[in-house]
Structure formats: C-alpha cells, structure tokens
Amino acid sequence: MSAHAQSLDVLHWWTSAGERRAVDQLVQQLDKRGLGWNDAAIPGGGGMAAVKVLKGRVLAGDPPDVAQVIGRTLTDWADLGLVLPLDDVAQRGRWKGAMFPVVLQVVSHGGRIVAAPLGVHRINTLFYNQALWARWKLPVPRSWDDVAQAASALRRAGVTPLAWSDEPWQVATVFETLLLAEGGASLYAELAGAQRPSAWADARVLRALTRLRWLRQLAGESPGEQRWTSSARQLFRGEAGMLIMGDWVGGELMAWGAQAGRDYACAPVPETAQMHLYSVDTLAMLQSRRKRDAAQEKLADIVTQPSVQLAYNQAKGSVPVRTDIDPSQLDDCERDSWQTLAHPGSRVVPSIAHRMAADESTKDALADALHRFVTDPQQTPERAQERLVAIVKGAAR
C-alpha cells in the first residue's frame, strides 16, 4: 500500500480463491491512486454471515466505510438513509452513457445513484469439464436431452454426472435457472416481481420442481451440503462432469490454473439461451460520523473505470458493467455473457436467490422450502409448490 494512502474499511464476502484474486485487482488499482482498502472479509457462501455482521455494525454505530450491499438489501438501506448518494460521481463518469441499462436500474433508487457497480454475474450457467467431453465425445449440453445423454455416459465411466450441494442457497440458485428454463422470461419476471402470487401455482413451476429433483438424482445418493468451491473442485478434477452455478465458478477455476475453452467450457442452462439471469456486484458507501465522503466517492469513481472493470471481472468470472469495453478481452464464457447482455433481443431478468428480486426473508424462506423438498424424497413436487405459493402470498400481505 502507498505510504500516504487514505484507507477505507470494506466489508464483503469475497473469500474464495477466485474472489480474492478479483479483490486483489481492486486493491492494486486503488493503491496506485493513493487509496487503501482495509479488508473486512466475512466467509460464508451467499453472504448470509456478512449481512448479519454488517447489520450488527450498523446497529452498534460502527458501520464500515464501504460494504458489499446488493439488490433489495441495497434499496432498503437507501430508504433508511444509510448510504451515500453517488450522483456526482455518476455524472462525472458519464455512467448513463457507458453502463448497461439494467446496471443503472440496480444502482438507482428514488432518483438517486446509491452504489458503485462492479460486475454482472450470469446465474443461468452450466459448466462442464472439457477433457471429459472430448474423451467421451459428448454433445455440448444445450438441451436437457444432451444433459441426460452426457449423464448416462459419465455414469458408465464412473464419473458423477452433476456436482451438487444441498446447501439451501445453492439449491435455490439451481431452481431459479429451472424456473427460467421451464417458464420462460415472461413467467419468470412475474415470479420474481411477486406482484401476482398466483403465478407460483402455474404448471411450469411444477415442471421446474420435477426437473430439480431429477437433477439432484444425477448427483448420486445423499450429496449433502458442501461449499460451492467443493463442487467446483469436483468439476476441476474431473470427478464430476457438470455444475450449474453462477459464473463466479469460472473465476475460481481460473484461480486454480484452468482455462476456459481448454479445461472447462460453459453454456447457458438448457432452454435459457439468449436469456440472462443476473446478479450485480455493488459496493455501497455507508454514512457515518467519520465523514469519508471524498474518499468514498474516489473509490466509486476508480472501480467503475474501464481498465479496473476489466481487471476485476476477468478475475471474477463476471463481466464489466460497461458497454464500451472490448469483449475480445474476455474469455469464452464471459464473452457470451457480455454479448447476451448487450444484444437488444435478449431477455434480462433478476435473480431471486441472489437478492436482485426477493427481499431477504422471502429469499431465505423459499430456499428453505426448496431444501426441504430436495432432501425429503417423500415430499411431492405438488406439495412443494403449495409451500412456495404460501410463502409468496404471505410475503405479499
């Protein structure tokens, strides 16, 4: 760190190898510009532990200067006056002309810019081990029939077809991709908006639940709850052939020395091509008695600049929030994500499981219900659907 750097406390949950590489890129870029990053990383997949720590610090009157606050949580905190508006930074940086519209929508609330966007993750991503695919001459998994064919061949070869975890947030992540696949973007948007709870009773939601159970069965018996990094490691080692997870898996695989197109490849989850189920990484500048406004605005300006955007997202597996970068500098998986975002005919919808749509309590309740469903073979898809409908109706009251 530069000797004269002013430091900001930053609370986040980027703790895996790929996430740390991405954070290191930000730290280096900030350091070059005389601004320090005092790291307060809280481990825990999905950020549940970090959100609890953050709430505790705010209630204690000791908020961090900067925090990873995303989606609905961000807008709730903005309503409470806890975040520093960044309108001047956005105007100076011409964010309106340089960023994807969906990104500006995510960081805007009440006519103000309330966070600095870092990158866009694509949730509806299916990763597969390229060496296994080449060895067994398997089809690119573009359809569920392709997935079934590959699973059969992998099972015969003694390879687990699909890496899996029963951890609730991971089950919810897979399920929302199936809602998009089975229901299409229009129904998914209704489900995410929760403005018509009866939409959750649609037959296509039932099909998504049935598909979820089928996928869980591909993983073998009692896969249990494991970190998403463990599932990525199975894919990396060729112990599992496929993994459905957000594209942060690409960042993790790269941190271990893998290369997209050589060691692994990815495709949109079947039936979701030209759709982008997104989660946006954002940093909120929190208000406090310390009055670090100038340094906080400087950080927001730096992390949204093109060169910093590329450095961060190339390491994270996500894509820049800007439309003015050169996509040839992205790997195969990242490029498809960025081009899908940029294509005017694509359908772009918010993640329920990753706070882009549902509030924290509804998100957690849905994840818990899905966890109970996949771990209880006696529970029917019909009963699980009834539970989901009840949760959403209760949240809408």
CA distances from 117 to 6, 114, 157 (A): 22, 10, 44
Query: In angstroms, rounded to a whole number, what is the distance separating the alpha carbons of residues 300 and 16?
Result: 23
Its sign, for the CA torsion 303, 307, 313, 318, is positive
Strand partners, 302: none
Question: What single DSSP character describes residue 121?
Answer: E
Tokens of 260: 């997209």
Amino acid 1: pLDDT: 42
Q: Could you tell me the mean pLDDT of each successive run of 10 residues in the chain, 397 residues long?
A: 71 94 96 94 79 86 91 88 95 97 96 97 98 96 97 96 97 98 96 86 98 94 88 97 98 96 96 98 91 93 97 97 96 97 97 91 95 96 97 84
Domain(s) labelled CATH 3.40.190.10 in the chain stretch across: 6-121+280-337, 125-276+349-396
Four-way CATH pick for 125-276+349-396: 3.40.50.1240, 3.40.190.10, 3.40.50.300, 1.20.200.10: 3.40.190.10
Amino acid 55: pLDDT: 87
Amino acid 396: pLDDT: 75
Question: What single DSSP character describes residue 378?
Answer: T
Amino acid 30: pLDDT: 96
Strand partners, 319: 120
How many helices (H) and strands (E) in the chain?
17, 12
Question: What single DSSP character describes residue 260?
Answer: B
Q: What DSSP line would sit under 331-349, residue for residue?
A: -HHHHHHHHHHH-TT-EEE
Q: What is the CATH number of domain 6-121+280-337?
A: 3.40.190.10
By DSSP bridging, strand 275-285 and strand 347-350 are parallel
Alpha helices in 99-138 (DSSP H): 101-107, 130-135
Cβ–Cβ under 8 Å, residues 279 and 354: yes
Q: What DSSP line would sit under 348-379, residue for residue?
A: EEE-TTTTSSS-HHHHHHHHHHHHHHHH-TTS
Amino acid 45: pLDDT: 66
CA distances from 6 to 30, 35, 272 (A): 10, 5, 45
Cβ–Cβ under 8 Å, residues 363 and 47: no
Amino acid 44: pLDDT: 74
Cβ within 8 Å of residue 387, ≥6 positions away: 369, 372, 373
